[in-house]
Chain A
Amino acid sequence: MDTLKIADKEFTSRLFTGTGKFSSNDLMAKAILASESELVTVALKRVDIDNEQDKMLQSINQPHVNLLPNTSGVRDAKEAVFAAQLAREALETNWIKLEIHPDPKYLLPDPIETLKAAEELVKLGFVVMPYIHADPVLCKRLEEVGAQCVMPLGAPIGTNKGLKTSDFLEIIIEQSNVPVIVDAGIGSPSHAAYAMELGADAVLVNTAIAVSQNPVEMAKAFKMAVEAGRMAYNAKLASIKKHAEASSPLTSFLN
């Protein structure tokens, strides 16, 4: 498969995964391994920073797995910048998934605070991966302040509803100069494949794997779906054939 480059890192897998909602650390580790994912998000608030033997971190300690701390739980730009700095120190990475959701019910991202925080974090040397609404203008604004990718949502987080925002995702993908990673809402492998067919550079899946009956098998299914979707995108999908409407000729004046 063709590789994906974000900042200075190259990824062979276009499936990013998360660490939340698994029934055990052991199962989580197995599922992540089966997914072949090379970028795994961890919620900073869940990591026991002072404990070097943190169980969760230990169980995903694989050479090919990069940790992507997220700022989940913060409510504004100030808190996000603080959390990111903490994560950089604790996990020794300058990569940060920027999530600011002041709304505890739907966990919808705050676009204004996200843009502010992204600008600040880029200045502080972070590789910023912002989680946002599927808002094409916001994506361009984030690109301008130096975000290394954008992570628009497919549907509200944890809903498994799929790509409810596909019309906007298409615009974002068409316009973006940085990788577009579809985040949130992907509930099944077919959703992931669809995102890849649309031309997304990667997808991030957590809940759909973690809460399935068999997370390991599901992780494999997602891996295959993402690969199939990407392959289909590269091979250029056939599209729906429309029949031309019969009407008077428009080019007869050329004869």
Chain B
Amino acid sequence: MNKTFQTLFDTYNWDETLASINSKTAHDVEYALSKTKRDLEDFKALVSPAAAPYLEQMAHMSKMTTKKRFGNTIQMYVPMYLSNECQNICTYCGFSMTNKIPRRTLTDEEILKEVAFLKAKGYDHILLVTGEANKTVGVPYIKHAMELIKDQFSNITIEVQPLDQHEYEELIEANLYAVLVYQETYHRDEYKKHHPKGKKSNFDYRLDTADRLGKAGVHKIGIGALFGLEDWRADSFFTALHLKYLQKTYWKTKYSISFPRLRPHSGGLEPKVEMTDRDLVQTICAFRLLDEDVELSMSTRESEVFRNNIVHLGITSLSAESKTNPGGYTVDPQTLEQFEISDERSTELIAEMLKESGLEPVWKDWETFN
């Protein structure tokens, strides 16, 4: 198993893929909708312009399929930013190295203070986030932070710089449950433009991160694209291709997909390709119709109205009340955020909203045994 996703990925051409998506017809969409099991060609049809008139039908099918597999529940999680230090330049990010913002990395005491706040809110699954500053916020720091809080959470997920396989193995020993790593865009040249400097500019190393995670044996891998950098239809397709490859290769691992859209931040970048709310719903439904079991995750980047509705259309996990700055909950609410969130409602209000619409917020769904 020395092959990685790159081998498969390199057999695809971006422009041809996009042309193939755009050439799908109403007939292709109807065919895809009529099947019980769908393949990547069907997925192309479902994210194509031809599928737009079928959105309502897709939404119904996505809702029913999600209900069948996940019941009436929504998994709750919350991000905790440990640091905003970063040695990369990413054109769309507030933490980008050249942004003149005060940098902060949480101390043990500060981490515990944030944790106490989040625990009181009821969270039992936590997502630890950092920028990419290997010297100060490298594996030893991350591992230490995990060990510091592992008794307080049943499940720890991280969203940090891509690591080597042995480093993931080391973190798994410290109770690591899941890792999120988004490719941002699967367009090689555009990727280069948005990541001109720092370790992150290595497209291939990032692309094969999920393979290293699979080999290390992490429980769950989250992938996704940052919509807005490039054409969302093609980026969704490559995410789906990645997902299918991973499921076949690392079959003991669970997968989740996230759908971040470019959000305003300090030093803002306008999306190159706009993805409307309608487009986002189409994408989410297309993923659900491609895969009944994959977890689909929604952050607070989206608006209240959008989130109130999308929880019925295929989403299975939701964050709430998120702060995207280190210490944002209790320590230093004023530090600069990575991006602006849109749904600012409290955890309690979100839980209330879910219950009122017939869904149960789930706070604990896993226990990491080590």
Which A residues have a C-beta under 8 Å from some C-beta of B? 140, 144, 170, 174-177, 236, 238-242, 244-245, 247, 249-251, 253-254
Contact = CB atoms under 8 A, between A and B. Distances in A.
What 9 A-B pairs are tightest by C-beta distance, nearest first?
Answer: A250-B59, A253-B309, A239-B35, A239-B34, A140-B251, A254-B278, A251-B59, A251-B56, A241-B34
A250 B56 contact: yes
Contacts of A249: 56
A140 B36 CA distance: 23
Contacts of A245: 60
A250 B277 contact: no
Contact of A175 (B31, B35, B251, B278): B251
B31 A236 contact: yes
A175 B34 contact: no
Given A240-B36, A244-B61, 4 more contacts: A240-B34, A245-B60, A247-B60, A251-B59
B60 A177 contact: no
Q: What's the interface size class on B, roughly?
A: 20 to 34
A38 B25 CA distance: 40
Give the dominant DSSP class at B's interface.
Answer: helix
A140 B60 CA distance: 34
A145 to B, nearest CB: 11
Interface string B237-277: 00000000001110100000000000000000000000001
A239 B38 CA distance: 11
Contacts of B308: 253
Contacts of B368: none
Contacts of B34: 238-242
A240 to B, nearest CB: 7
Given A239-B35, A254-B278, A175 B57 contact: no
B37 interface: yes
A239 B30 CA distance: 10
Most buried by B among A140, A170, A176: A140
B216 interface: no
A238 B31 contact: yes
Nearest to B55: A251
A242 B31 CA distance: 11
Given A175-B247, A239-B35, A240-B34, A253 B60 contact: no
A244 B56 CA distance: 10
A253 B124 CA distance: 32
